Amino acid sequence: MDIWGETRIDFVGKRNYAFLLSGMLAILGLIAAVLIPMGRANLGVDFAGGVSIQLKFEKPVAIDEARKLMESGGFKDSELQEFKADSKLLIRLKKPEGDVRKISEGIINVFTNGFPDNKFIIDSTEEVGPTIGKRLQKDALWAVSISLLGILTYVAWRFEFVFGVAAVIATFHDVLAVLGIFYVSGKEINLLIITALLTLAGYSLTDTVVVFDRIRENLRKRTKETLAQLINRSINEVLRRTIVTSTTVLLVLAALLAAGGEVIHDFSLALFIGVIVGTYSSIFVASPVVLLWKKK
């Protein structure tokens, strides 16, 4: 169903405003990328270090009651994740102060007194030290860098080198924008957020390639129109598809945000923001970069 008909929006004509906004988002992300490895951020257990304890109960545990128990027991900075199939509960504490053994005993006492009719055993106990956290930070940085290099290689091979550069700039912009927003909002940076950023890179690339594909098709049968007019026409031709696809993905992510639970809330939020930023960058960042490059 066609709900808005043919559009003739001058997207590239607004590129200066878009570059100003994108520049601010990118600078914010770069500041976050520098400060996060220095530990000046809300880092999760994966990066900051901490303790992970897994308990196996006889019966399923209500996660909300478990959280209240932990808070009342003095463990306010804890992350809980339930595994309903095995009646297991994963507890993660960030940078706990004191002896790990005493902390474990404290948690056991909390659940022993809080769930007297639901016995449990300690399934596993792990301690994530600062060294492992640093290594994970380094691995995460490598993962993002390799993915961007792969994007450059793929798009340059499929189109032209300039398209590859533009796609990498747009994808890098998207990752930095989400990272910066999460940093200033005080959201926890953990491996799940890094996973969301890599997923976002894949989505953003797909959206950008659709626009680039139409630009390439129109370049082959180019008429007297200028390159700016051709790019505008190409974006307008795929605008319907881009909006519908992004809206569909956003609806799914909105459902996860509303009902997905605390464990995947920030993951869903990162993707939700990322899809909006990725859709914007495909139109207002990637394509104008191609125009600027070819005008040299």
CA distances from 118 to 74, 134, 214 (A): 21, 38, 61
pLDDT at 179: 92
pLDDT at 129: 65
pLDDT, average across residues 133-156? 77
pLDDT at 158: 78
Please classify residue 208 by burial: count the beta carbons closer than 10 Å to its beta carbon, then call 0-12 exposed, 13-18 middle and 19+ buried: buried
DSSP the chain: --SS------SGGGHHHHHHHHHHHHHHHHHHHHHTTTT-S-B-HHHH-EEEEEEEESS---HHHHHHHHHHTT--SEEEEEEGGGTEEEEEEES--S-HHHHHHHHHHHHHHH-TTS-EEEEEEEEE-HHHHHHHHHHHHHHHHHHHHHHHHHHHHHS-HHHHHHHHHHHHHHHHHHHHHHHHTT--B-HHHHHHHHHHHHHHHHHHHHHHHHHHHHHHT--SS-HHHHHHHHHHHHHHHHHHHHHHHHHHHHHHHHHS-STTHHHHHHHHHHHHHHHHHIIIIIHHHHHHHHT-
**Measured between alpha carbons, how far is 263 from 174 in angstroms, rounded to an integer?**
23
How many of the other CB atoms lie within 10 Å of CB of 16? 9
**Sequence-ordered list of residues with C-beta below 8 angstroms from that of 262, at least 6 positions apart, any chain:** 63, 80
The backbone torsions φ and ψ at residue 64, rounded to the nearest 5 degrees and listed phi first, read -65, -40
**Measured between alpha carbons, how far is 212 from 285 in angstroms, rounded to an integer?**
12
**Measured between alpha carbons, how far is 263 from 31 in angstroms, rounded to an integer?**
27
With a cut of 90, say whether residue 105 has pLDDT above it.
Answer: no
pLDDT tens digits along 54-68: 888 888 888 888 888
With a cut of 80, say whether residue 184 has pLDDT above it.
Answer: yes
Tokens representing 274 are 């990322």
pLDDT tens digits along 114-138: 888 888 888 877 777 666 667 767 7
Considering 95-99, 136-140, 264-268, the range whose residues carry the highest mean pLDDT is: 264-268
Residue with tokens 């990328």: 33
With a cut of 90, say whether residue 195 has pLDDT above it.
Answer: no
